[in-house]
Amino acid sequence: MDISQAASSILRKIGYLLLHLQSTEKTIKVCIQIALPDEQDFFINVLDRLNEKERKKPLGHFLKALRLRADLNSDVDELLERFLNHRNAFVHNLKEVPFWNLKTREGCMAADAFLTKLHKESKEVHLLFLGILNAWKIQTENETSAEEEACVAKLSKYQSPIIKRKYRNFQSDC
């Protein structure tokens, strides 16, 4: 594979990963607002917790809130820290990624390795928060209401079938 093909492959992976990260971040934010609310918000209507002002806060804010509201085992805490650092490098400054360069084969390989690692972390984090939401749903199942169903419907729009389908083929092309 020549450099231009490798670079094109990396650019496609960047697009796929961006979509996956957006889905993961929305799941984290919804999960923390619904299943792990701040004590002062505990009795507020679940839909009111999903207000626009809260959703616009940065991912780091939500992960910090999670650490304050839940006891995390060290493996989970390390995963969240790695995910946040790698996600921030990806979103804000790819120059932080060692050897990232789409003009050389070695740079493409470094980019591919980084994207693959971030994708794996994103999937793990996404599944973690979906598990938390599922546990919350099971715990509150006796109190099922139209409100809960509306929340589940709201969450389902964050789970893009396009991402699920395309990410099955997320493999190295370098």
* Residue 42 reports pLDDT greater than 90: no
Q: Report the distance separating Cα 72 and Cα 97, nearest Å.
A: 28
pLDDT band at 2 (very low <50, low <70, confident <90, very high): confident
* Residue 118 reports pLDDT greater than 90: yes
pLDDT on residue 166: 34
Least confident of 40-54, 83-97, 100-114, 119-133: 40-54
Task: Match 């099922």 to its residue by tokens.
Answer: 144
Domain borders along the chain are 3-168
Burial grade of 68 (CB within 10 A; 0-12, 13-18, 19 or more) = exposed
The answer to whether residues 151 and 47 touch, using CB atoms and an 8 Å cutoff, is yes
- Over residues 56-105, the pLDDT tens digits come to 666 777 777 777 767 777 888 888 889 988 999 999 988 888 898 889 99
**What global pTM score does this model have?**
0.69
Q: Answer with the residue of higher pLDDT: 144 or 168.
A: 144
pLDDT band at 106 (very low <50, low <70, confident <90, very high): very high
User: What mean pLDDT do residues 108-127 have?
Assistant: 94
User: What mean pLDDT do residues 108-116 have?
Assistant: 94
User: What mean pLDDT do residues 33-61 have?
Assistant: 60
- What the block records as the tokens of 25 is 């971040």
One-character DSSP codes across 97-112: STT--TTSHHHHHHHH
Q: Report the distance separating Cα 82 and Cα 49, nearest Å.
A: 27
- What the block records as the tokens of 139 is 């715990």
